[in-house]
Amino acid sequence: MKIVSSISQNKNSIEAINQCIKKLSNESIHPSILLCYFTEEHDAISIVKQLKQRFPNSKIHGCTSCQAVMTDELFAQQSVALWGFFDPHIGSYGTSIIEHKGSANIAKTTHFLLDNAIKDSGRNGELPTLVLLHATPGNEETIIAAIDDFFGTPVPLIGGSAADNNVEGDWHIFTQKGIVTSGISISVFYPSCKVSYSFHSGYANSNISGIATKTDKRVIYEIDHRPVIDVYKEWTKLAMIIGDDINLLEQVTQYPLGRIAGYMHDVPYFKLTHPVRFTHDGGMACFANIKEGEELFMMYGEKEQIISRPQRVIDSVLGYHKCDLKPIGGINIFCAGSMMHIKSHMSEVCHSLNTAMHYAPYICPFTFGEQGRFTGGENAHGNLMASAVLFHH
């Protein structure tokens, strides 16, 4: 069993993916599953075609990443990265993908995808060890609820919502079975090793909160019966910085809204919601659904906290086992907004993550929504989060 990662900054998509493939081709067998991430400048059709031609028996899964991708080798903008899991003995893997529009029955579609992915793995009737989800933004909460319902018990989940560079919809998700710009893709993992996970916000609670009193899916209109724009500006003290018609993606990364996801020793842990923009009808659009009656907390993250967070996520996995766990490799999911906020420090993040991972290979896309499993066992969708899984003996 082995994991190999590779990355290329070549601006020609075919040359870039061939450079990545070359490193994996040094192995005597084909990978059981390939994960691939690249930025919107690259050609998804050419990349997937090359992967299928070179590894016709490998499962393939991935999505576009915001502005950059990171591996254990480096943080690279306008790049293509590849991650191969060589598990030739009893490990099994399956993928499934579907295009959907707004009228689709998301829960039914998710059940269909899971059934197909499990059939594709050849492990009918068995619970997978891990589910990997890549969807286009908009329905992640419904998808996760459907995944939990399908299995009847929460199976560990990791995922990231497809991203582009400027929230303009220039994103893709794909498997070896197809490429779509609006839909859901799922992989099921039955590895011949152990899997451990962690999902963290890494932000502090400012102890300021209010109740969402008027919402519409991912748009908040009122908090405590007051206009959300007024409340948010008051909470963040950013009235002179953010206008009423502005993309908030990079400007307010330090100030997400938090909702309690669970408790550990009576201390709450949070899933975050990232404001995207103020709407023309007085609302604040976010990257996650907000229900009326939910308590919203003003969260705060210093740059230093965000820089050290990926290492702390891995450390929490290792600390949970209370042993000198040696990873074979891993998958890390990191929020695009957080990355943009600390972009000049991403080489430092890469170095600290390598140390935490014991220099095992990993891949890390930058996504517009993160999915994972909290320590308390809940699978959830959040923003400005960090999610990780480690494969180990």
Express each pLDDT in 333-367 by its tens digit: 999 988 988 999 999 999 999 998 989 999 999 99
pLDDT at 211: 97
Q: What contacts 101, CB < 8 A, 6 or more positions away?
A: 182
What does the pLDDT look like over 303-314, one tens digit per residue? Answer: 888 888 888 888
How confident is the model at residue 242, as a pLDDT? 56
Give the closest residue to 70 by CA, choosing from 366, 314, 368, 358: 366
User: Which residues, including other chains, have CB under 8 Å from residue 75's CB and lie 6 or more apart?
Assistant: 68, 346, 347, 349, 350
Could you tell me the two tokens for 145?
A: 């609820």
Residues 6+ apart with CB under 8 A from 294: 211, 212, 259
Average pLDDT over residues 174-199: 95
pLDDT band at 203 (very low <50, low <70, confident <90, very high): confident
Looking at residue 255, its pLDDT comes to 87
Whether pLDDT at 18 is above 80: yes
Higher pLDDT, 302 or 106: 106
248: pLDDT confidence band, cut at 50, 70 and 90? low
Q: Which residue has the higher pLDDT, 93 or 266?
A: 93
Burial of residue 195 (CB within 10 Å: 0-12, 13-18, 19+) is middle
pLDDT at residue 249, rounded to an integer: 62
Q: In this predicted structure, what is the pLDDT of residue 246?
A: 53
Mean pLDDT of the chain: 91
d(CA 280, CA 374): 35
pLDDT level of residue 103 (50, 70, 90 thresholds): low
Put simply, whether the predicted model's pTM sits higher than 0.85 gets the answer: yes
- A 10 A CB-CB count for 125 gives 5
Q: Which of 136-145, 250-259, 268-277 comes out lowest in average pLDDT? A: 250-259
Please name which of 297, 372, 368, 296 lies closest in space to residue 339, comparing C-alpha atoms: 368
Residues contacting residue 104 through CB under 8 Å, at least 6 positions apart = none
Distances 329 to 31, 160, 188, 193, 249 between C-alpha atoms, Å: 14, 18, 17, 11, 31
**Per-residue pLDDT, 319:** 61
Q: Average pLDDT, stretch 195-214? A: 90
Looking at the DSSP bridge assignments, the partners of residue 266 are none
Q: Give residue 238's pLDDT.
A: 67
Average pLDDT over residues 220-241: 86
Q: What is the mean pLDDT of residues 33-48?
A: 98
d(CA 252, CA 278): 12
Average pLDDT of the segment spanning 3-9: 97
Average pLDDT over residues 37-60: 97
Res. 163 pLDDT band, cuts 50 70 90? very high
Residue 243's Cβ-side half-sphere holds a number of Cα atoms within 13 Å equal to 4
Region 143-149 average pLDDT: 96
- Which range is least confidently modeled, 45-49, 278-282, 310-314? 310-314
Give the pairing of strands 80-86 and 2-8. Answer: antiparallel
pLDDT in the model for residue 313: 83
Whether the per-residue pLDDT at 105 is higher than 60: the answer is yes
pLDDT of 201 reads: 78
**3 pLDDT higher than 90:** yes
Spatial neighbors of 229 by CB under 8 A, at least 6 apart, are 244, 278, 282, 284
Pairing of strands 157-160, 130-135: parallel
Which residue from 311, 308, 329 is spatially nearest to 319, judged by alpha carbons?
311
pLDDT in tens, 253-272: 888 999 998 887 788 889 99
* 53 pLDDT tier (thresholds 50, 70, 90): very high
Beta strands in 156-266 (DSSP E): 157-160, 173-175, 178-180, 183-190, 194-200, 204-216, 219-223, 226-227, 257-264
Average pLDDT estimate for 157-169:
94
**Residue of 67, 63, 130 lying closest to 97 (CA atoms):** 63
- The token duo for 294 is 């939910």
The percent of residues above 90 in pLDDT, for the chain, comes to 69
